[in-house]
Amino acid sequence: MNSVGKTDIRKLTLDQLTEFLLAQGEKKFRAHQVYEWLWKRSARGFEAMTNLSLATRELLGQHFEIRPVTVQKAQQSTDGTIKSAFRLWDGNIVEGVLIPKDDRMTACVSSQVGCSLTCKFCATGYMERKRNLDAAEIYDQVVLINQQAMDAFGLPITNVVYMGMGEPLLNYQHVVESVTRLTDQKYGLGMAARRLTISTAGIAKMIRKLADDDVKANLALSLHAARDEKRNEIMPINETNSQAVITEAIQHYRRLTGRDVTYEYIALDRFNDSLEDAADLVKFVRKVPGKVNIIEYNPIAAALFDSSEDDRVLLFHKHLADRGIQTNIRRSRGKDIDAACGQLAVKEEMG
């Protein structure tokens, strides 16, 4: 738990930190040194800041604290996937996943404790949303997953996807700030923006804001059904963010950013995997071009859905590909440790 009266130093901007240190009689460059320790070197305590004098470190410790995320538990799948339960400073738990592949190491991170969207096929949707994560808590997940990648595979992470617990665009400010921390070449981790992907269930006004703010990250839309009546059944957010509204938002996004959107489509057996469903998806994608990822579903105890049969998925894929839509089939990773898409949920919360 945090100490009474102390501020989390990572909530300060560089200007705020500079102002504090100048008021304490420190030189301006000290703030830049501290900021580099916080966001480039990922310091978890002031004692690590070895190019600062002991007096300066003690000064920081008197007024501030660092609230690092820790790994409470990590599990490794037979396919190499590593799922971690991350403990936050206030005792809350979120989950993150390292997904290793031949050509990339992907960190899947959470943006909220729980979720408020209640998507019917997703384990996290059955949890209560307790709070948003701040930028530092999202950043720490990336740092810790990167360390796991180095320890287990000798390779750093190459990609970050905001596809863990929570709806990133309902935590807009902190998610965008975390993107800055991850991509900042001077003070952050220096990742390439094209390696970051924010996934949304379809918060239209925030998709527009991403474009207006020129946020440097890719966008993925969790679509899962290309007809309003069907999408309403599994994603209640669609009732207030209809596909027509989402389409307009994505068109705005693509017009301003020049970037394509990726459409995520979980194949649910006999629900959204027919050729008629594929035809609906073709119509949707033609309005705003982008690639489609057909994702293998991972059944959960709370939901009644099953994963589509392979032959139905292949026919669905062929229907899209034959009509010129770039389509990939994504096989699940980490199913044996409940680390796959739609399976993230802190078990205590699930009762």
Dig out the tokens for 160 from the structure: 């970050």
* Calpha distance 198→191 (Å, rounded): 15
* Calpha distance 254→56 (Å, rounded): 47
Active site residue 341: yes
Strand, helix or coil at 112?
Answer: strand
Which uninterrupted H or E stretch holds 90? none
Catalytic one of 115, 119, 122, 341: 341
Half-sphere exposure at residue 334, Cβ-oriented, CA atoms within 13 angstroms = 24
Query: 70-76 and 82-87: which strand pairing?
Result: antiparallel
Q: Phi/psi class of residue 101: alpha, beta or left (left: φ > 0; alpha: ψ in -120 to 50)? A: beta
**Contact, 301 vs 44, CB < 8 A?**
no
Catalytic one of 65, 95, 137, 296: 95
**Contact, 162 vs 206, CB < 8 A?**
no
How crowded is residue 309: how many other Cβ atoms within 10 Å of its Cβ?
Answer: 13
As beta bridge partners, residue 75 has 83
Dig out the tokens for 153 from the structure: 């595979």
Residues in the chain: 351
Active site residue 128: no
Half-sphere exposure at residue 30, Cβ-oriented, CA atoms within 13 angstroms = 21
The C-alpha angle with vertex 48 and arms to 47 and 54, in degrees rounded to 5, equals 40
Provide the annotated active-site residues.
95, 341
